[in-house]
Each structure stands twice: as structure tokens, then as C-alpha cells.
Amino acid sequence: MKPRMGGQSSITVLRSGYYMLKVILAILVGLLRPAPALDLLS
């Protein structure tokens, strides 16, 4: 990819912080969610 010649990034400090918060929250929810029970009889 070629470097940007002009313009402004659409990613602001607030957006990057919001994204990081969402990712951390998704990881925590995934860790706290109980594992599915294995059905070994069927």
C-alpha cells in the first residue's frame, strides 16, 4: 500500500478507545460464559 498523500484519518482517539473497550468487554464475556456441556451419550 502507498502512504497517504493527504487528508485526515477517520480513526480518532475516542473511536480507538471505544474499540478497545468493546474488545476487552467481549473477551471478558467470553471468559465468564460457562463452557457448553458435552453430551457423550448420543
pLDDT in tens, 8-32: 888 888 999 999 999 999 999 999 9
> What pLDDT sits at residue 38?
80
pTM of the model: 0.60
pLDDT value for 42: 60
Asked whether residue 41 carries a pLDDT value surpassing 80, the answer given is no
pLDDT (0 to 100) of residue 40: 72
Q: How far apart are CA 35 and CA 5, in angstroms?
A: 49
- Cα dist from 39 to 33, 36, 42, whole Å: 18, 9, 6
